[in-house]
Amino acid sequence: MARIKHIAIASRDPEKTAEFYKNVLGLEEVGKVSSANADGYYLSDGNVNMAILKFKNDVVSGDFDMEYSGIHHIGFQVDDAEAADIRMKGADAYPMDDVNDALHGGMTPSRGGRNVETKYRGPDGVMIDISQGGWVGTDPE
């Protein structure tokens, strides 16, 4: 069974948004990101990783414009990424190759580590991450 382990929120002010979730709801900051694709924070309650991101280019923002704020994508940790890939494609949910390429995504043994995922376009246009390794700050089980 897949487990929800990651939610990403697009934000125009990731620092302010992260402070809200830390101060009001007690989430712990478990990482920061500053890359050509996005700036932001990784927060966690110990079970779910929440990314608060300000996207820097149209490719990684996916189907959203650069000014969008709100839930951007949701991530599921699976036991077998290859089997999940087959199920996703069988349900007409295909990898978002342009986004995956821009993020250097894709799960292969040589990439290893956590936060490695493949993004798919699911029902209703929802961007879905599939990860076998999970996300930083989450329970790997």
**Per-residue pLDDT band at 6 (split at 50, 70, 90):** very high
| 18 sits in which H/E element | helix 14-25
- Of 49, 56, 11, 50, the C-alpha closest to 35 is 56
**Per-residue pLDDT band at 106 (split at 50, 70, 90):** very low
d(CA 18, CA 33): 12
Is the pLDDT at 30 greater than 90, yes or no? yes
Contact 31, 98 (CB under 8 A): no
Sequence-ordered list of residues with C-beta below 8 angstroms from that of 78, at least 6 positions apart, any chain: 2, 84, 130, 131, 132
Is the pLDDT at 109 greater than 70, yes or no? no
3-131 belongs to which CATH class?
alpha beta
Residues 104-115: b if buried by 16+ CB within 10 A, e if exposed: ebbbeeeeeebb
How confident is the model at residue 116, as a pLDDT?
Answer: 60
What is the mean pLDDT of the segment spanning 85-94? 91
Tokens of 126: 């929802």
- 66-75 pLDDT, tens digit per residue, is 888 888 899 8
d(CA 94, CA 134): 20
